[in-house]
Amino acid sequence: MDSRLPLHVIVLAAGQGTRMQSALPKVLHPVAGRPMLAHVLATAAALDAEVSHVVIGHGGEAVQREITAPAGLDVRWAIQHEQLGTAHAVDQAMPAVPDAAQVLIMYGDVPLVQSATLANLLAVGEATGALLAAQLSDPTGYGRLLRTADGRLAAVVEEKDATVEQRQIKEINTGFVCAPAHKLRAWVAGIDNDNAKGEYYLTDLVALAAAEGAPLAVATAEEAADVEGVNDRLQLARAERRFQARQAEAVMRAGVSLRDPARFDLRGTLDAGRDVVIDADVIIEGHVVLADGVQVGPFVHLRNVEVGAGSRIHSHSVLESARVGADCDIGPFARLRPGTQCADGARVGNFVEIKNASLGPGAKANHLSYLGDATVGAKANIGAGTITCNYDGANKHHTRIGESAFIGSNTALVAPVEVGDRATIAAGSTITKNAPADALTLARSREQKSLSGWKRPQKRPGSGGDNGGSQGGA
């Protein structure tokens, strides 16, 4: 056959997924933060498929809503109103498949299959069609391959229809099949539902091809676990761990040290420089960029974050939609919310929350503060307990803190307000008006007094020792 025939992928995704015990359609359950079906379509795109026809039924509208086509892949939907079997499902997509095409059948609930495995299947089956097999020590539940004495593929028998002897066969059908479109069309039209489940079995095409004297070729998946389907939440968790292990390996090969690859979760994409070290139990979501030499401590959660070279994100910090420059120290226990920008050399310490705010180069907020809707100048020092009061109950207002300003501990900055460059704010102040540059500003509810003639209360003589020396009753 012509190797230049366009590839049309048919993805079967109409089943209910009863064993997931879920309101969510099975193919939308996520592996590494993406729906299983999105993984399958990404694999189809990696194979340079021209069109992917997705057969949907149960929860089809939700599936159409949640899935976006990967770049370069034309995704079309085929509705299967009643789930009458895998051949019936394929039949729903066939009207949109031209005769001059190669067809690859994929499954929406087999997310880990690798494009190289399928490329091999396509190469093997270019003329005759081919089926992807695997060797399983426990083949329970799968269709078994029946071969002739000379080793040619004769049929696939489903578990429910198999004899006791056939059930001993460990060579199974993974479900992935490829065939020239015109052959597939004819085979599917010839399949009936005369079997134990009363379904139209796609696998019956194997016997039809053999009867025509041109049996399907067989390709074998090297990693059987890659072609395992997900039917329940246990298998979903296994697929997740397997996918994470694959990603951890890729990340380490690219030069990142993972202190424990089994405790690393990437739900998105990581773009890491050299000599990045990631400690245990770090969760990375969305798109994260870590420049050379970044160190990420244990139990850190990063989502859509960029971190500059040599910075350290200490344990238990949570960063979302934030940018951190080079040589910064963040955490432990810091929270950088969306819109946070820390310039080079900035420090954010424990129990500091920052939102929609920028810290200039070398600025420090080391303890217990909230900086929201604020601009903090270079080398400014934010004392413990500083709060930007950015919200008046209706609107948010901005606070500007100048370069090298020093904000004393427990200061409330009531926005909108500005603190000038090199200004000092006395500890415990509530600042409601702009504080000028270079000056000390105090704003406390009352001045502190010291009374020199003051005497501590004395115990009354003869009052006895009943209170055990406690000062409580004085």
| Binding track over 191-230 against Ca ion, x by CB under 5 A | --------------------------------------x-
User: Rounded distance, CA 274 to CA 259, Å?
Assistant: 15
Site for ligand UD1 contains 295 (CB under 6 A): no
54 touching ligand UD1, by CB under 6 A = no
Q: Which of residues 301-320 bind ligand UD1 (CB under 6 A)?
A: none
Residue 264's binding partner out of ligand UD1, Ca ion, none, with CB under 5 to 8 Å set by partner kind: none
CA distance 462 to 257: 74
The number of residues in the chain equals 474
Q: Which of 43, 102, 173, 247 binds ligand UD1 (CB under 6 A)?
A: 173
Interface residue with ligand UD1, options 229, 308, 372, 402 (CB under 6 A) = 229
Q: How many CB atoms lie within 10 A of CB 271?
A: 11
Is residue 387 a contact point for ligand UD1 (CB under 6 A)? no
Q: Catalytic residue at 58?
A: no
Residue among 182, 316, 367, 398 flagged as catalytic:
367
> What are the tokens at 403?
């370069």
Please give the angle made by the CA atoms of 213, 101 and 211, to the nearest 5 degrees. Answer: 15
Among 52, 117, 142, 230, contact with ligand UD1 (rule: CB under 6 A)? 142
Please confirm whether the linkage preceding 35 is cis (ω < 30° from 0). Answer: no
Distance CA 450, CA 444 (A): 16
- Closest contact distance (angstroms) between CB of 390 and ligand UD1 is 50
> Which of the residues 451 through 470 are near Ca ion (CB under 5 A)?
none
Based on the shown chain and the rule CB under 5 A, indicate whether residue 108 belongs to the binding site for Ca ion: no
13 vs 423, beta carbon nearer Ca ion: 13
Stretch that binds ligand UD1, among 12-20, 115-123, 349-357, 368-376 (CB under 6 A): 12-20
Beta strands at 417-419 and 399-401: parallel, antiparallel or unpaired: parallel
Q: What is the DSSP string of 209-230?
A: HHHTT-PPEEEE-S-GGGG---
SS3 content of the chain, % helix, strand, coil (to 5): 20, 35, 45
Select 140 or 450, whichever has its Cβ closest to ligand UD1. 140
Instruction: Decide if residue 372 touches Ca ion (CB under 5 A).
Output: no
Pick from 36, 106, 172, 291 the residue near ligand UD1 by CB under 6 A: 172
**Alpha carbon distance 450, 469 (integer Å):** 27
- What is the secondary structure of 133-186 as a DSSP string? EEE-S--TTSPEEEE-TTS-EEEEE-GGG--TTGGG--EEEEEEEEEEHHHHHH
Residue ranges binding ligand UD1 (CB under 6 A): 12-15, 55, 80, 83-86, 88-89, 107-109, 142-143, 156, 158, 172-175, 201-203, 229
Which residues are identified as catalytic? 367
* Positions in the binding site for Ca ion (CB under 5 A): 229
